[in-house]
Chain A
């Protein structure tokens, strides 16, 4: 099956710093990728849709200036959490669309201290 990777798998950062998370589709090209966030004991929540070569579309309540998304190529999307705060600590998961099936990355655990 299709493979999506994320890097890093976990990261700890200090409050006020920025963190970049990469999402790569390893064996297929994806014009559309998605970013989700999952808090403990909750379901995944869609944050934004990332389209190659154009601006991302953010879900209601997600601050676009705080969660910067760049989809510069057909195999790479990045999510940058700017000025991170402890409440941004979460499990961030990306997915890539391939012929109407979404393939998910393994997730990135972000802890902000």
Chain B
């Protein structure tokens, strides 16, 4: 699976949009981009995934560049409960394999 690079930490004001970048320059054609988050001392939570089109659900939006070498997770109106470590993971074929977690981005929402 392709390696991802994320900033170690980010701050965002409550109520503002949080934009979390992820680089995956070695992604191959059948690899999906998945985002999970982990709130302290809890299990990770699935957020969203995509292949090449932008995606939106009730939690977030995922913007994937045309060359698919990077993506951005957008939390449109961040709340204090969105403070967590966010992981961007590239998965082959969206298949049922165990996940390789990098260090992720620690997003801190400031009141």
Contacts and interface: CB of A to CB of B under 8 A. Distances in A.
Interface of B: 36, 38, 41-46, 49, 87, 94-104
Secondary structure class of chain B's binding surface, majority of residues: loop
Contacts of B45: 104
A45 to B, nearest CB: 8
A44 B44 contact: yes
Secondary structure class of chain A's binding surface, majority of residues: strand
A43 B103 contact: yes
B96 A97 contact: yes
A90 interface: no
Interface in A1-31: 1, 4, 6
Contacts of B36: 104
B98 A34 contact: yes
Interface of A: 1, 4, 6, 32, 34, 36, 43-46, 49, 59, 91, 93, 95, 97, 100-107, 109
Contacts of B44: 44, 93, 95, 104
B43 A101 contact: no
A106 B96 contact: no
Contacts of B100: 46
B99 A91 contact: no
B43 A93 contact: yes
